[in-house]
Amino acid sequence: MLKTVLPPSVIVVETTGDTPVDTLWPDETHDIASAPVERQLEFATVRHCAREGLQRLGLPPAAILRDRFGAPLWPSGVVGSMTHCRGFRAAAVAHAGDITALGIDAQPVKALPPGVFARISGPGEQELVTQLKTDEPGIVWDTLLFSAKESLYKAWYHLTGTGLGFLDVDFHLHTDGRLDFTFLRPVPDIVSSAQWQGGWSVDSGLVLTAIWATPSGS
């Protein structure tokens, strides 16, 4: 499902089932040992997906540990992202020479809780989503915008190691499945020099988004 919105250089592994928690590598287990079972299962399953992705890239399996903010630490030369929600888990990985940053996100097809859309969107985005709701009422555009921002956050964090505010970016959601955006704050060279793209899909009750950056000139 996410594969349809990402370039062929990105390997996507998705599942609707869960992998046993004992498939975690020992160092990964330490990270999650005291969490509720559901959390352990999603944590184990996305890592299982990620290792399958590494294998398809022709790379050896590896532990996917986390930094102090919870972001995945990928093997050298790999760029990746993971997402999970009820009934769906996915990992996407690519060679760092092809893709410099990557974020994926999945959300259930349902409207955001009251007040959330106003908090995560700027005036231009609110105007756009109002129009899109009229033009294409079958899509949960507010949730799609939220998901796009989650995907961008993951890609941004991978490149910068810093956070990004919801109002630091202005998204344009296209009805043909593309996502564009403009940063509304100064960004480091590593961000401005990359070529950014994004895509979305709605499938099997899920809103799926991906944002990725390729090296400039590629």
Ligand X SMILES: CC(C)(COP(=O)(O)OP(=O)(O)OC[C@H]1O[C@@H](n2cnc3c(N)ncnc32)[C@H](O)[C@@H]1OP(=O)(O)O)[C@@H](O)C(=O)NCCC(=O)NCCS
- Nearest residue (CB) to ligand X, 25 versus 217: 25
**Candidate residues 12, 46, 92, 101; the one interacting with ligand X per rule CB under 6 A:** 46
Contact 144, 137 (CB under 8 A): no
Residue 51 sits in the site that holds ligand X (CB under 6 A): no
Residue 80 sits in the site that holds ligand X (CB under 6 A): no
Residue 70 sits in the site that holds ligand X (CB under 6 A): yes
Smallest gap, in angstroms, from Cβ of residue 21 to ligand X? 12
From residue 3 to residue 22, the character string flagging contacts with ligand X as x (rule: CB under 6 A) and all else as - is --------------------
**Candidate residues 14, 18, 84, 102; the one interacting with ligand X per rule CB under 6 A:** 84
Smallest gap, in angstroms, from Cβ of residue 68 to ligand X? 10
Residue 75 has phi, psi (to 5 degrees) of -60, 155
- Nearest residue (CB) to ligand X, 158 versus 214: 158
How far is CA 115 from its chain centroid?
23
Number of residues forming the site for ligand X (CB under 6 A): 22
- Nearest residue (CB) to ligand X, 76 versus 162: 162
Contact 46, 74 (CB under 8 A): no
Residue 159 sits in the site that holds ligand X (CB under 6 A): no
Residue 25 sits in the site that holds ligand X (CB under 6 A): no
37, 59, 164, 187, 200 from 92: Cα distances, Å:
24, 14, 21, 25, 15
Q: Report how far residue 78's alpha carbon sits from residue 98's, in angstroms, rounded to the nearest whole number.
A: 10
Q: Report how far residue 190's alpha carbon sits from residue 215's, in angstroms, rounded to the nearest whole number.
A: 9
Smallest gap, in angstroms, from Cβ of residue 217 to ligand X? 25
**Candidate residues 88, 150, 206, 214; the one interacting with ligand X per rule CB under 6 A:** 150
**Candidate residues 43, 117, 141, 196; the one interacting with ligand X per rule CB under 6 A:** 43
Q: Report how far residue 202's alpha carbon sits from residue 2's, in angstroms, rounded to the nearest whole number.
A: 9
Measure the N-to-C terminal CA separation of the chain; round to a whole number of Å.
25
Range 167-170, long-range pairs (CB < 8 A, 24+ positions): 167/120, 167/121, 167/122, 170/122, 170/124, 170/125
Coil, helix or strand at residue 140: coil
Binding site for ligand X (CB under 6 A): 42-43, 46, 69-72, 82-84, 105, 149-150, 152-154, 157-158, 164, 166, 168-169
